[in-house]
Structures are given as structure tokens and as C-alpha cells.
Structure 1
Amino acid sequence: MEGAEERSCTSISAAGASGDHGHRCSRPDDGTVEVFALLGKRWTGLLIAALLKGPGFFSELHRAVPGISERMLADRLAELSALGLLVRIVDDGPPVRVSYRLTDAGRALGPAMAELSQWARSHLAGTRAPGPRRDA
């Protein structure tokens, strides 16, 4: 099976298209695998993007990411907290309120998120059906 995977990984150029001949793809490095294991989870990247603009309360994050359920939001926030990408801040009130903010490690994703966003505007514009309205 591994040989079949290697053969399917032959570059387009090796199959006859223009460019360098004989190049082969390779396994992504561990950092790439790890970051996409995180950001590839539904909602995670959107939550980080929302928090890059500043701290938010649970209800604000729920509104900022259309379609996420409260349970999924709570799960993703707990996961990001466990990874050290955000902190949970409890204001004793009254009323008691909980806000979330990115740590330095979470904010360090900002430039990469901006690059991905720019790439999407340049290369994916109009390729996706409209999603839920952001102001709804």
C-alpha cells in the first residue's frame, strides 16, 4: 500500500505537464500536521480569528461565529484553553461573567491567520455558497 501512496504522490510535472520533471511530493512536516490538526477542526480557526480582535464574553463569541452550538463553543474554548492559546477570566460580578482572551501563543497565530485570510480572498472568492449572515 505504501508503494501505491508513493506512486499517487508523483508530481503533475512528472506526469507530463510543464515544469521540473521527477519531483515528488513529500509528507508534511510535523509542525504542519499539528497546526492543521488544530485549525482543521470546525470552528477553531473562526474562534481564534474572533478573539484576535480582542477579548469576548461567551455570548459575544456565540454571536460572532454563526452556526456554532453553545456546547461546541464550550468544548472548543476548553480545548484552546488546555492548549494554552486562550485564558478564561471570571468576573465575580454581580452578575458573574466569563470572558476569554488569547494568550501570547494564541495572538502569535495572528500573522498566519491574516495570510490565510488574504489567500482566501485572492484564490477562493466566489467559490463557496454564501453562509449565514454575520449580522443575523
Structure 2
Amino acid sequence: MGRQESSAEFSDPTPVFQPLQLPPPASNAFDVLTRRWVPQVLYLLCQRQARFSELARALPTMSRRVLMQRLRQLEDEQLIQRIVTPGPPTRITYEITDLGAGLGATLRHAEMWGERYLKARPLP
């Protein structure tokens, strides 16, 4: 029953006799979303803009070096932007771009699925 519900979300089902294919747009999206820590950073920045230290506190098991790498990658990919406000002191914040915000609904759906998963899975 669960498989039928999820497969109904795909508007153009592939006939059984055709080979399965991963379309390039889906592949690109999965490449972004499966990079370690990227979904978490994007999820937080979909909520509001934040300073580096706020992101580091929100993700305590992520090293600061990796956080900086991910922020630079996401900025290069135009999913977030770095905003520098002249000081003193100079203030640097990060915010989601329109392109990055397009993932907001997907990330919220992942959160809702996570709630269902936690309720459904047996405790160890």
C-alpha cells in the first residue's frame, strides 16, 4: 500500500519494459543534497539568516573547518549568499538565495518524513 502511494507522486510512470533511468536534474539535486552537512545548513538558513557562530552552535558535531567549506561551496553554487556589513565590528551573515529557498519545501518534507519515521521505527 505504501509503495503505491509514493509511486503515485511521479506523474509519468516508466513502463516496466523500459530500463530505469535517473534524469540529470534529479541526479544534480541528489548530488547537492547528499553532500555531508549541506541539507542541515540549508535547512537552518531557510529559517532565517545567521552568523557563522550561530550555525556552528546549531550544528555542534560539525567542525568549524567543514562548516566554512560548506558555506563557501554553497555560496559558489549560489544557494546562499554572504552578507558583509561594515563595522566596527564587521558583521558577516549568511542567508539563503531564491535558488536555495526552492529547496525549503523539500527540506520541510524531509522533516515531516523524519517525524513519521521516528514514530514508526521500533525502539532498540
TM-score bracket, shorter-length normalisation: 0.7 to 0.9
Shift of 1:116: 1.6
Residue from 23, 28, 35 that aligns with 2:16: 23
User: Relative contact order: is structure 1 or structure 2 higher (C-alpha 8 Å, sep ≥ 6)?
Assistant: 2
User: What's the secondary structure of 2:113's corresponding residue?
Assistant: helix
Deviates more, 1:54-63 or 1:84-93: 84-93
Q: How does 1:41-120 map to 2 (within 5 A)?
A: 41-120=35-114
TM-score calculated relative to the size of structure 1: 0.71
Could you list the runs of 4 or more consecutive aligned residues of structure 1 that deviate by over 2 angstroms after TM superposition? 22-25, 126-129
In 1: Cα distance, 2:63 partner to 2:86 partner = 25
CA RMSD of aligned residues (A): 2.1
Higher Cα Rg: structure 1 or 2? 1
Which residue of structure 1 lines up, in the alignment, with residue 5 of structure 2? none
Show structure 2 runs of 5+ residues with no match: 1-14
User: What's the secondary structure of 2:95's corresponding residue?
Assistant: strand
In 2: Cα distance, 1:120 partner to 1:28 partner = 24
User: What's the secondary structure of 1:38's corresponding residue?
Assistant: helix
Residue from 121, 125, 129 that aligns with 2:118: 125
Amino acid at match of 2:118: A
More helix by share: 2
Residue from 20, 26, 37 that aligns with 1:32: 26
